[in-house]
Amino acid sequence: MEALRIVIADDEAIIRLDLKESLQRLGHTVVGEAGDGRRAVELAQDLRPDLVILDIRMPELDGIDAAKQLAADRVAPVLLLTAYSQRDLVERAMDAGVFAYVVKPFTEADLLPAMGVAIARFREFRQISDQAASLQEAMETRKLVDRAKGMLMDRHGLTEAEAFRRIQQQSMNTRRSMREIAEAIMIAHEVGSAPPRRSTGRKS
């Protein structure tokens, strides 16, 4: 992964320090630090980093609401730090504009792949947003595309990136939106996995 400019936010200074040192060892630069979500959003809007890493629980504005603001402006991908006890919030976070998450306590081995996932999914989201009339439609389309990607990955042994490219290519070839392609994939999957109808044994 190329060197990234990153904004980090956590209300615990010791966690921010640990995170900053880990990122620096991985070759990245922390261009901004915040102790609350509101300041994190301000920094990200001003600095336009390559990635924003947010704790889920922060004063002023929590990580989920901060991510929602950043997603609305398409500022940067958001990676969320969460605790085991907060796993129930992860789905809400993904709906809000979080693109990946890491469970605390984390290691550098956990951090690096999650960063890659967040950046790749953010690029996909920007392409999806170009076809959407609103942020809400873009978020809904993203969820449909994610489900369709999963089906393609299971059926054809594709990577996540390959599955997205297949959806994107089909969208371009047919001049239909990625949402329409995703919906068609899901319908085909449901039809293909439906059990055969049992014969009643009666002849017409």
Higher pLDDT, 200 or 154: 154
CATH code that applies to domain 5-121: 3.40.50.2300
Q: Is residue 196's pLDDT more than 80?
A: no
pLDDT confidence of 25, banded at 50, 70, 90?
Answer: very high
Question: What is the pLDDT at residue 62?
Answer: 87
Could you read off the pLDDT of 75-89 as tens digits, one per residue?
899 999 988 666 667
**For 61-65, 119-123, 200-204, which range has the lowest pLDDT when averaged over its residues?**
200-204
Question: What is the pLDDT at residue 204?
Answer: 44
Say if domain 133-193 classifies as CATH 3.30.1360.120.
Answer: no
Q: Are strands 78-83 and 29-34 parallel, antiparallel or unpaired?
A: unpaired
Q: Is residue 172's pLDDT more than 50?
A: yes
Residue 89 is given by DSSP the state G
Count of residues in the chain? 204
Tell me the domain boundaries of the chain.
5-121, 133-193
The dihedral of CA 69, 39, 29, 101: what is its sign?
A: negative
pLDDT confidence of 63, banded at 50, 70, 90?
Answer: confident
